[in-house]
């Protein structure tokens, strides 16, 4: 290689790296938004109860990436999708040190309060909702500020609880699996899967909301669909692989539709960022899941 060729190659590499960095830190996490659709057909799903579910998760609201104006646009776009049911899977607060200004939980909840769907809008809490509430951490129990704010804006929070929807489907919400931080680094969950399942009739078609997907191997077969967030798809994902995933199962539940032993899980890539405000190959998304026989 000639000296000129070497310099050109070096310059091209530098420019490519600069573009990737700019895209990953400035464009994808702050400006892009897509609708990611999954269609799931199950033989055991009632043929007269097809349902379209819109999923919002891991908003991590904070300037300059997930602003109040952006949240309003996300809500408007979600409402325009015509979903039968909308679910919010937790982590409303910003969780990286690059936020120039926080978006208060009460403001985020007020904006989410404009969500509307025929079967309702429901939520579960995420680990950051718990971690960012010092009073709840000290008590080792709720109420959690995020949950209170959501319910004050007409969005019921399902904390190890279940209810029957107007069309006869059952919706359950699990308490967070990493809720309480202890000084020794231990994380303690407030989830109660057996207690939650006990509230659902044995033969009822059921959907489970769980912020972290790691619970999925324990979910009984009678739950047709589990919806989760938390992983952000790893935030950086290339060719279906994420180098870092906040799950003990690694890439097994990092992103998308997973079917295991007749059970279905969909993990949304969510909207915001954690640790670092970077996304590459995991475009912020509103996730839409269509269930049918």
Instruction: State how far the Cα of 257 lies from the Cα of 273, in Å rounded to an integer.
Output: 21
- Confidence (pLDDT) at 2: 57
Considering only CA atoms, give the Rg of the chain.
20
- Confidence (pLDDT) at 11: 44
Q: What is the 3-state secondary structure (H, E, C) of 151-195?
A: HHCCCCECCCEEEECCCCCEEEECCCCCCEECCCCCEECCCCHHH
Q: DSSP alpha helices (H): ranges in the chain? A: 3-22, 28-31, 68-80, 105-112, 127-131, 134-139, 145-152, 193-197
Please state whether the predicted TM-score (pTM) of the whole model is above 0.85. Answer: yes
Domain spans of the chain? 32-292
* Domain 32-292 CATH assignment equals 1.10.10: no
- Confidence (pLDDT) at 33: 97
Residue 225, C-beta contacts closer than 8 angstroms, at least 6 positions apart: 40, 207, 208, 264, 265, 266, 289, 291
> Would you say 187 and 172 are in contact if contact means Cβ atoms under 8 Å apart?
no
- Confidence (pLDDT) at 15: 43
- In the predicted model, residues of the chain with pLDDT beneath 70 are 1-22, 24
């Amino acid at each position: 290689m000639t000296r000129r060729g070497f310099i050109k190659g070096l310059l091209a590499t530098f420019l490519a790296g600069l573009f990737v960095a700019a895209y990953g830190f400035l464009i994808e996490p702050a400006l892009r938004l897509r609708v990611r659709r999954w269609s799931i057909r199950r033989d055991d799903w009632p043929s007269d109860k097809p349902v379209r579910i819109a999923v919002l998760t891991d908003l991590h609201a904070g300037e300059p990436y997930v602003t109040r104006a952006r949240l309003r646009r996300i809500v408007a776009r979600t409402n325009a999708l015509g979903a039968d049911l909308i679910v919010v899977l937790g982590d409303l607060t910003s969780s990286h040190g690059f936020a120039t200004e926080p978006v208060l939980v009460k403001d985020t909840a007020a904006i989410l309060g404009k969500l509307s769907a025929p079967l309702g809008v429901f939520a579960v809490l995420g680990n950051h909702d718990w971690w960012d509430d010092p009073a709840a951490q000290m008590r080792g129990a709720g109420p959690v500020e995020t949950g209170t704010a959501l319910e004050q804006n007409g969005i019921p929070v399902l904390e190890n609880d279940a209810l029957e929807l107007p069309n006869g489907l059952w919706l359950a919400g699990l308490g967070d699996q990493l809720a309480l931080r202890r000084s020794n680094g231990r994380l303690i969950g407030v989830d109660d899967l057996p207690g939650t399942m006990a509230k659902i009739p044995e033969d009822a078609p059921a959907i489970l909301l769980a912020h972290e997907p790691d619970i999925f191997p324990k979910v009984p077969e009678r739950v047709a669909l589990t919806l989760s967030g938390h992983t952000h798809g790893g935030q950086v994902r290339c060719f279906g692989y994420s180098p870092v995933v906040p799950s003990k199962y690694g890439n097994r539940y990092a992103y998308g539709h997973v079917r295991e032993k007749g059970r279905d899980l969909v993990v949304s890539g969510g909207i915001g960022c954690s640790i670092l405000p970077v996304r590459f190959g995991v475009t912020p998304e509103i996730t839409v899941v269509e269930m049918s026989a």
